[in-house]
Structure 1
Amino acid sequence: MIPFVSMPPFEYGRADTVSPLIQRVIANNPGPFTFTGTGTYIVGRSGPGAGVAVIDPGPLDDAHLAALLAAVTGRRVSHVVVTHTHRDHAPLARPFARAVDAPILAARPPARTIHASTLLDEDDDETFVPDVVLSGGEVIAGDGWTMEALATPGHASNHMAFALREENALFSGDHVMGWSTTVVAPPDGDMAAYMNSLDRVIARGFSTLWPTHGAPVTAPDPFLAAYKAHRQAREAQIVERLAAGDGRIAEIVPNLYAAVDSRLWPAASLSVWAHLIALERAGRVKARPGPVIDADWILG
């Protein structure tokens, strides 16, 4: 079982100091994929004139913009950093960056909107354009803090996490979340890429993970081991269902997710599809006519 983390009490729009170098302001956009809302992180010292970075400004929301501007009053924002271009992370970046006169740093957006938006409320922000394009490995330094960009594709093809060296912490975006498993939804989401990224995060041995949604993960090693084991177990269950004669995703999902609210089955269908695509690429299953969501799947 994954040791999910409960969210402690909070107040929308309030800047909470959560570590010596981190403050968090949560947007009032709760939902099935955002949990309690988008947590925007302010990285740096709290004193007057200090230089800070702001991670994932969040959705277009006037109240959240006002809260962020109030939180950085008296300090200088040197970087606005975005983990990926989904609408609960990226749209407020440009208005906020313009207000504080800071550049936006992020991975290159997808060439076209290819997320499975008909089933998930996780559309890309089609207007998002970073000022500085990151590919992973870049070091972003400021007033008493240093962050490294870590490419973590899988949830989104352009997902980027950020390691805060001074606290051995990772701002994990939606790659790892303390309250839930991460949605990996084709065609932009890629399960093989996700598992490879997860291994890279595990190998780093971080002390704390700060997801954009929900509470921090303060014991990452056992949590990530369970996170990975869950994905591996789900893959094995899918193979078992294929062996039992379930050849379509619509047949597999009710069996594997019988204990889950059926309103979440569309998202579960996308996760099963992502696993099947990875299995098909590895030569373990075959799809007719091809690896589309309504294909007929058989063991290879």
Structure 2
Amino acid sequence: MSNLTPGKPCPIRLSVRRVVAPNASFMTGPGTNTYLIGNHQLAVIDPGPANPEHTETLIRITQTLGATIRWILCTHTHPDHSPGAALLKHRTGARLLGALAPAGPSQDHEFAPDEVWAEGSRLDTDEFSLVAVHTPGHASNHLCFYQPEEKLLYTGDHIMQGSTVVIAPPDGNMSHYLQSLEKLKPMDIAALAPGHGEIIQNPLEVIEGLIEHRLMRENKTLARLQSLGPSTLETLTPAVYDEVPAWLHGLARLSLTAHLYKLRDEGRALYQNEVWSLP
């Protein structure tokens, strides 16, 4: 049986359990990872979508442990990560911690934290600590949570196992994403606990690989602008992502837009009348 079976608690550490939400899809993989931290007074990270079944599963597991859910934290406010917070708060009375949703679509604008968190915000309990690390890029309000006792970083959608994340402007920003990856490199991290997929045991290698991959794509974008000349986004996408199946080009176009915006902001690409070109 897979460790990513929805609804089945999977021990990650002695005081950390992962429970996958039943929202498997192309975008979410096996489903959103919810983490239960602690053995007595628990913190829940990313309660997932507004799914009553998942909420009841989390409560049932907590009762089996003889524990209480005291805090609910959300890495960001995309629909597969934070809407379940309101249901879980209603059932448990736990305090809700996280950043407010930015304007725009595909955000959980009902997310109403009891404490608005930002860089350096922290929760200290008798069992564990969690410290917020602001990691914009995939989402402007994205927070990772660092658990120093375990040297474990809960990465939400900043880093996923087995896949790169979509960076979709205007809220997604490629410059910020790369800076946020660089920000993690000096941290003392033993493993990454992503919002989707398995635990990542080689964090620095994965972080450096993601940076290298994005810079490869950026250089390829510049090379295609050089060879093709002035081009629309529709022309550039299959040329820059020629190794990616055509049915994925819709998603690729979002991240390519983020790359192009970065290059424009750096003065390395020009945009006029829906056409991209080199200076």
Normalised TM-score (structure 2): 0.95
1:64 Cα deviation (Å)?
0.7
The correspondence for 1:172, drawn from 139, 155, 158, is 155
Amino acid at match of 1:224: I
The correspondence for 1:11, drawn from 5, 10, 35, is 5
CA RMSD of aligned residues (A): 1.4
The correspondence for 2:256, drawn from 254, 272, 292, is 272
Give me the whole-angstrom Cα distance separating, in 2, the residues matched to 1:201 and 1:8.
29
1:233 Cα deviation (Å)?
0.4
Matched, 1:39 2:33: yes
Structure 2 portions without partners, runs of 5+ = none
Contact map agreement 2:52 2:87 (CA 8 A) in 1: no
Contact map agreement 1:184 1:271 (CA 8 A) in 2: yes
1:41 Cα deviation (Å)?
0.2
Aligned-residue sequence identity (percent) comes to 35
Which deviates further from its counterpart, 179-188 or 196-205? 196-205
Contact map agreement 1:104 1:130 (CA 8 A) in 2: yes
The correspondence for 1:72, drawn from 56, 62, 69, is 62
Give me the whole-angstrom Cα distance separating, in 2, the residues matched to 1:192 and 1:203.
19
1:105 Cα deviation (Å)?
0.6
Give me the whole-angstrom Cα distance separating, in 2, the residues matched to 1:34 and 1:24.
15
Matched, 1:113 2:100: no
> Residue in 1 aligned with 2:140?
157
Query: Quick one: structure 1 residues 192 and 10, their matched pair in 2 at CA, closer, same or farther if it must change by over 3 Å?
Result: closer
Matches within 5 A, 1:92-107: 92-107=84-99
1:71 Cα deviation (Å)?
1.3
Give me the whole-angstrom Cα distance separating, in 2, the residues matched to 1:104 and 1:41.
15
Structure 1 portions without partners, runs of 5+ = 1-6, 115-122, 290-294
1:178 Cα deviation (Å)?
1.2
Matched, 1:228 2:222: no
Q: Which has the higher contact order (CA 8 A, sep 6+)?
A: 1
Matched, 1:85 2:69: no
Matched, 1:62 2:52: yes
Give me the whole-angstrom Cα distance separating, in 2, the residues matched to 1:228 and 1:164.
23
> Residue in 2 aligned with 1:29?
23
Amino acid at match of 1:202: K
Contact map agreement 1:154 1:191 (CA 8 A) in 2: yes
> Residue in 2 aligned with 1:3?
none
